Structure 1
């Protein structure tokens, strides 16, 4: 029973972290996202270790399915908020790289 409740607890942790990440993304507080994403990754790794070892009771399975739906929905919104930021960052990096290459080509200090 301990492993079963740990599985539910892991999904609860992931759902809570994703919700927090979504709130941060909505507030454009990008700097705090990596820490929460790292926490999610640790919990996912733990799930990989314990999940194959246990089958959930029906009530626990229903709870996990509900949490998974919440995670999927919020993850989709989170991705939609993050993608434009990543695209902008890539554009800026390309521009800086282009300026650096021009500087090298024309012997300008950077």
Structure 2
């Protein structure tokens, strides 16, 4: 893997995380999960192969710029998904309580 390939993978990941943010904004959780899986495969590729590529100068600066954008996407996604996860947990707990009451006192 050369430096151009490394940068291309980071750019692809940035595009994917941008699409993940869009999915989170639309509350399209299935699409978000699908995109997260695609992003994870690129991360695995980088983990396996990037260490042999030394970036310098403009390539290193571009990588830092892309990573900062990916981190920004990630923060925004978490800001959108955290309340949803709390809602989901409340629904699960509520339905669990309903089942317990039903089991204890009948339908």
State the TM-score, normalized to the length of structure 2.
0.92
- Number of residues paired by the alignment? 107
Distance 1:98 1:6 in 2: 52
Q: 2:81 is matched with which residue?
A: 82
Q: 2:36 is matched with which residue?
A: 37
Distance 1:43 1:103 in 2: 47
Report the CA distance between 1:107 and its aligned residue.
3.7
Distance 2:97 2:47 in 1: 43
1:97 partnered with 2:96: yes
Distance 1:61 1:46 in 2: 18
**Unmatched runs of 5 consecutive residues or more in structure 2:** none
Report the CA distance between 1:40 and its aligned residue.
0.7
RMSD: 1.2
**Contact 1:7/1:51 (<8 A) preserved:** yes
Report the CA distance between 1:28 and its aligned residue.
2.2
Where in structure 1 do 4 or more consecutive aligned residues deviate above 3 Å? none
Report the CA distance between 1:9 and its aligned residue.
1.4
Report the CA distance between 1:31 and its aligned residue.
2.3
Distance 2:53 2:30 in 1: 37
1:74-107 deviation per Cα after TM superposition (whole angstroms, max 9, x unaligned):
1111110111001100100010111111112224
